[in-house]
Amino acid sequence: MNRAPTTNGSLEQNQRSSKPTSRFSDPLGEHVQLLSEQQQRQLAQYPPVEQVYCGFYGSFDPRDKTGGSFLIGTEGIIGADIGLELRDGQPWLTAPADGRPIAIPDEPAATRLRELLQQDWEIRCILARTIYRTDDKGFTGEFAALAIQAGNSEAAGQNVAAGVSAAAGQSSADRSVTAEVDVTAALHRFGQHIAERLRAGERPSLALTQLQLARVLDSNGEWYLTKAEPKPSLPEGAYVYRGRRSWSESLISQAYQHNKGCGILSWVVIIAIAALAAWAIWQLLT
């Protein structure tokens, strides 16, 4: 008899504890939600990332000796730009020097590039890695594609400037003197950082979230992702022919860009290496 009140009391307590917790206040949760809403309002001042930028990796297999010679020659060094144009409805990678066709990218990169070209996006393709296949003695090239919609970028510049001013707490009078943000120029600088990391043998992440785009624009293109993607595994019988840019290849690249000093220096280095090799052979034979 004495246990009945205890049982009823326990049941009542369990019923109270099983009620939804939505009526309870969580100050920390409300603070986080407030910060999230504030951040969303600030990000809304920037252009939607999908309207101004996209980045992804692709690969290609040259279909003839012309494309193969590009990958194994002095033009196909890591970090080199590859041309891109639409020919008969197909996105062709081309050699920047003379426009000769190299290859059509593999899927799904080919479809994405075709759609972007048809929508007049500005696309930069950068050679990321060259793979040699021992089974058929062929080469595969991997590249990074950075696409910018210049029209949307220019239209969004003033909105970004206003958004940056608002985030900094400037008054409407101060906002009028804020310089217009050049979205296209900022994304071009961001692309330069990507190219530098590719030359160093890295595989940087190319896609941007809305928050990351805001950081790129706030820094005028100097902010970039430090995270790297894992490199695709190689099939059996394949190995990396070129994975990064060497010092001598950097000199050759400068020579291609009509830098006479680097061109002369590259030939000096080549002659010096040849002389050193000849001397080593002479020492072995004598």
* Residue 33 within any structural domain of the chain: no
Same domain, 239 and 250: no
Q: Are residues 198 and 58 in the same domain?
A: yes
Say whether both 147 and 234 belong to one domain: yes
Report, as an integer, the average pLDDT of 79-89.
94
- Checking if the pLDDT of 24 tops 70, the result is no
Q: How confident is the model at residue 248 (pLDDT cuts 50, 70, 90)?
A: confident
The structure tokens listed for 259 are: 């830098």
At 146-202, the pLDDT tens digits run 999 977 665 555 455 444 444 444 444 333 223 467 899 999 999 999 999 999 999
**% of the chain at pLDDT higher than 70:** 63
Q: Are residues 177 and 141 in the same domain?
A: yes
123-149 pLDDT, tens digit each? 999 999 999 999 988 999 999 999 999
The band of 26, judged by pLDDT with boundaries at 50, 70 and 90, is: very low
Same domain, 213 and 156: yes
pLDDT of residue 38: 67
pLDDT value at 11 more than 50: no
Q: Which amino acid is at 171?
A: S
Whether residue 96 is contained in a domain is answered as yes
Q: Report the alpha-carbon distance of residue 85 to residue 113 in Å, rounded.
A: 9
Q: Are residues 149 and 217 in the same domain?
A: yes
Whether 204 and 264 share a structural domain: no
Q: Reply yes or no on whether the pLDDT at 3 is more than 80.
A: no
Tell me: the pLDDT tens digits for 91-118? 999 998 888 999 999 999 999 999 999 9
d(CA 89, CA 114): 7
Considering the domain architecture, whether residues 283 and 210 belong to the same structural domain is answered as: no
The average confidence (pLDDT) of the chain is 77
Range of the domain at 126: 49-244
CB atoms within 10 A of CB 282: 9
The verdict on residue 61 lying in a domain is yes
Q: Minimal CA–CA distance to 221: which of 179, 245, 257, 185?
A: 185
Residue 240 in domain? yes
Which stretches of the chain are assigned E, i.e. beta strand?
A: 53-60, 81-87, 90-94, 101-103, 122-133, 138-148, 238-242
Instruction: Return the beta strands (E) in 88-235 as ranges.
Output: 90-94, 101-103, 122-133, 138-148
Please give the Cα distance from 108 to 157 (Å, whole number).
31
Same domain, 57 and 162: yes
Query: Is residue 38 situated within a structural domain?
Result: no
Our count of domains for the chain comes to: 2
For residues 202 and 171, state if they share a domain. yes
| 111 domain-assigned | yes
The label of the residue with tokens 């020579």 reads 255
Within-domain flag for 17: no
Would you state the pLDDT for residue 94?
95
Residues 142 and 210 reside in one and the same domain: yes
Same domain, 216 and 81: yes
The predicted pLDDT at position 283 comes to 64
In a domain, 30, yes or no: no
